Structure 1
Amino acid sequence: MKLPSLFVSHGSPMLALTDTPARRFLTGLSTLLPRPRAILVVSAHWETTAPMVNKVARNQTIHDFFGFPRALYELHYPAPGHAVLAERIAALLGQAGFATGLETTRGLDHGAWVPLLLAWPDANIPTLQLSVQTSQGPGHAYQVGQALAPLRDEEVLILGSGSFTHDLRRFRGQPVNAPESADVTAFSNWMDAAIVNNDIAALLNYRKLAPYAPDEHPTEEHLLPLFTALGASDGPAQRLHSSIEHSILRMDAYNFGPMQPPLAN
């Protein structure tokens, strides 16, 4: 059974506690696809110079943020790891020419555990995390995804977790339901058209072609997981969800490849 690769936007850590359209989407995500044998999360919040995969018996929950309500720090996601699969992932990346390391102490940061907690709250699916290489850009992230594509035939869900837009410099305490900024709309519409039309060349050059791209992503770590999910795909993309939070954070999610049962909007 072949699984798709996915991209989801995780937004603020408060997504775990706040009732928003994006949260409601993620709580229903598991109903849109078969249960994975394992999940590999590519998170924007683990940045390394070369790809790293965590290889642990059980994942610790990393609360990599400060100043949030106590209830957020009391949430945990102790999903099991998968040592054999970690070695398999490293081998696939090595065969593609990536010098890949295994991290034996790191658990799951909030880019991984927040969406997983909402989608698979029982924390009983073996889960691994893969780092991103921000300085190497979307082409590198796309090639990482291509190397990982065989995992989809092994019932492993490749889940990119970032943010469709992520200019936190403009956050001034806007309420979660504040209207969307016009530049966010323009960028997101361009990206969506390029994704659904499978215009890989344009997407890899989005920083020059997409309107307001450097504004929506002053740094690229929150968009790179999308390129890894895209690289692992073999079929048309479809937007699963679109919403806005705090006027500047687009929470869009995409499916790349087959989904069973049929997609829901």
Structure 2
Amino acid sequence: MTLPTYYLSHGGGPWPWMPQAAPTYAVLGASLKALRRELDEAPRAVLVVTAHWETEDFAFSAAESPGMIYDYSGFPPETYEIVYPAPGLPALAEQAAGLLRGGGMAASTDARRGFDHGTFSLMQAIWPAAQLPVVQMSIRRDYDPALHLAAGRLLAPLRDAGVAIIGSGLSFHNLRAMGTQGRQASAAFDGWLQRSLIGKQGPARDEALLHWEQAPAARLVHPREDHLMPLHVAVGAAADAPGSLAYHQNDFFGAITASSFRFGTAPVPQ
């Protein structure tokens, strides 16, 4: 069974642990629960490409029992004590790094890296039981779109080995424009994303992502492309699997248009 890949919004900070955030994240949360249902028991592990871990070359977390990295500020005190107790899988980290090295890319493993909120908030929303082993993959701090696409292509064999590859970011990531000031820019960029990804596959899709800065409002939506690069890895790993919409909302935080995407066919009916 070949698993699909995903590019998913992980939301803001530790939102799944905050009851007061439930109205804001109702639509996103429902989409992530639907993902758990559609994957059912298919994955044996999850590889999360997280926007919140940047390294010179690609790296993979290899702790057997990863700790927590509370990489946010201004949240309630109790959110700095939360734990997502999923195990790591050092063998998968080594396998993934080996696939990149086999393709001529530098890659390493990190036995000290804990879960950042790009991983634990997303995973808590999808698999709150924390039953699946999780390995994190960093993005390169040069944000090279071609290299992120190429890395994804090298990781594609993991899809046939029961590994769900999830790019964790956000299709709109300009924290200074999260209200009405981001309405038009987010809608314009999201429209480009959907035209470039839904039903599209192969070289034409890759070409669009290579030149993402030419998209409408691109730099207003992503002043830094850290939250976009996980998409490139997910698309690279998808090979020729067509894209589809996994989540869409045009009133996130009251005004923002945001989407998540699936590449490939879910293993069970939704």
Q: TM-score with structure 2 length normalisation?
A: 0.90
Show the counterpart of 1:5: 5
> 89-98 or 22-31, which moves further after superposition?
22-31
Query: Once the 2 structures are TM-superposed, how far is the Cα of residue 134 of structure 1 from its aligned partner?
Result: 3.4
Q: Please name the residue that 1:213 is paired with.
A: 218
Task: Choose from 220, 224, 244 the match for 1:238.
Answer: 244
Alpha carbons 1:163, 1:250 under 8 Å: kept: no
Equivalent residue runs for 1:1-265 within 5 Å:
1-16=1-16, 17=18, 18-19=21-22, 20=25, 21-35=27-41, 36-171=43-178, 174=179, 181-196=183-198, 197-198=200-201, 199-208=205-214, 210-233=215-238, 234-243=240-249, 244-247=251-254, 249-263=256-270
8 Å contact kept, 2:4–2:159? yes
Counterpart of 1:238 in 2: which secondary structure?
strand
What residue identity is the alignment partner of 2:245?
A: R
In 1: Cα distance, 2:68 partner to 2:45 partner:
18
- Residues 78-104 of structure 1 show CA distances to partners (whole Å, capped at 9, x for unaligned) of 111111111111110101111111101
The SS at the match of 1:229 is: helix
How many residues align? The count is 257
* Alpha-carbon separation, structure 2, partners of 1:101 and 1:86: 9
**Cα distance 1:220–1:248, how it changes in 2: closer, same or farther (>3 A)?**
farther
Helix, strand or coil for the counterpart of 1:97?
coil
Q: Secondary structure at the match of 1:242?
A: strand
Give 2:223's aligned amino acid: P
Structure 1 residues 88 and 249: CA distance shift in structure 2, 3 A: farther
Alpha carbons 2:49, 2:168 under 8 Å: kept: yes
| Letter of the structure 2 residue corresponding to residue 214 of structure 1 | R
Counterpart Cα distance in 2 of 1:179 and 1:157: 35
Is residue 167–residue 249 contact of structure 1 (8 Å, CA) maintained in 2?
no
Q: Supply the AA of the counterpart residue of 1:218.
A: P
Structure 2: gaps (5+ residues): none
The RMSD of aligned alpha carbons is: 1.7
Question: Aligned partners of 1:133 and 1:143: how far apart in 2?
Answer: 12
State how far apart, in whole Å, the 2-side matches of 1:81 and 1:261 are: 26
Provide runs of 4+ in structure 1 moved above 6 Å.
none
Letter in 2 for 1:192: Q
Distance change (3 Å), C-alpha of 1:249 and 1:42: farther
